[in-house]
Structure 1
């Protein structure tokens, strides 16, 4: 795992005098936004033992991470396909096998079968992760592949801070554009490997969009 300070060599020269706490916060928020928009951090969730009549199960993500969404789910090998009305938020059983829930909804910390399964089984999932709100860093793979994108996103947040030596709306706009381009490219890479609807990348938050206009 790489700590937020491992990004400093690429970022700090652009924000002289920036406190490490502010830098870490900006990097964390940028990494969260990047992972949410690109779905680039994916992995196999530990198998979940399913109990008959029990609908809700907690996610068990790696340390310093949370589950952002379910990519693929199967109960005893029976695929529960992506729910079409809410991409990324749930899955629906298209085969209608008796005892298999109709769909599965992903919350912030847990998933819920609707209806509850009528028989025990094992749920296997591929999920997309993102850093937790208190994470101290990110896994090596995401750091090695996407550190430039994450740094661009962090620089947007820092350069929009008022009355700082590094405050610059013009440079924030440049880094915002770079963040959007690199995040979209990462999302397209992921989309080619999965049968999913076309990904759309937002440019950070509405407040940032307004600030750079």
Structure 2
């Protein structure tokens, strides 16, 4: 289920009189994106991907109005593989490990296994999501848990708008501080909750 940006209005509009709905929607979307990127709080387990021998790249299928920001946990045939963020060149990555499968996120729409798999298998993943650039809202669980942080981020942006009835640099600084505090707290909370979360295919200890 999804909550639309208008579901935030009663928390935002009293502080920004005269602000348009379009501007509020944009500020909420931007705030939610940054919140999700920094906290990695919006996580789901994707349906298993059937891996084919000799095929390295596979499409990701996140929920509607969301994109994959990061892969936080993955297992191929029950054995954990590493989310490698610092290298996008497969040949370079293979120099470090030529036998154990690794994956590299090639973008929000696909992942690349390196080296190429030599057998069929099942790839299971827990991913961190964020709203898409055109999203109409956010998952209702995230709304219920983290709406205060998202509202602070939206008010920060709106109050920094020049020459508006609600322009207020001092209050913007307050909302910036609260957004940072609540985002960091959400990140710590989620990291603890997912520290020992098993995938549907149980993860074996890395060799």
Q: Is the TM value for this pair above 0.5?
A: yes
Match of 1:157 in 2: 157
Q: Deviations over 1:87-116 (max 9, x none)?
A: 9xxxx9xxx795x52x10112211011111
- Please tell me whether the aligned partners of residues 46 and 61 of structure 2 are also in contact (alpha carbons under 8 angstroms): yes
In structure 1, how many angstroms separate the alpha carbons of the residues matched to 2:57 and 2:82? 18
Match of 1:68 in 2: 69
- Please tell me whether the aligned partners of residues 45 and 126 of structure 2 are also in contact (alpha carbons under 8 angstroms): yes
Tell me the number of residue pairs that the alignment of Structure 1 and Structure 2 aligns. 187
Structure 2 residue 27 is the aligned partner of structure 1 residue 26? yes
Shift of 1:58: 1.1
Q: Deviations over 1:8-43 (max 9, x none)?
A: 001100000100001000000000000010011111
Match of 2:200 in 1: none
Give the root-mean-square deviation of aligned CA atoms: 2.1
The answer for unaligned runs of 5 or more in structure 2 is 88-92, 197-207
Q: Describe how 1:69-88 pairs up with structure 2 within 5 A.
A: 69-83=70-84, 86=86
Structure number with higher relative contact order (C-alpha < 8 Å, ≥ 6 residues apart): 2
In structure 1, how many angstroms separate the alpha carbons of the residues matched to 2:34 and 2:103? 24
- Please tell me whether the aligned partners of residues 82 and 103 of structure 2 are also in contact (alpha carbons under 8 angstroms): no
In structure 1, how many angstroms separate the alpha carbons of the residues matched to 2:15 and 2:179? 15
- The alignment's TM-score, normalised by the length of structure 1, stands at 0.83
- The alignment's TM-score, normalised by the length of structure 2, stands at 0.85
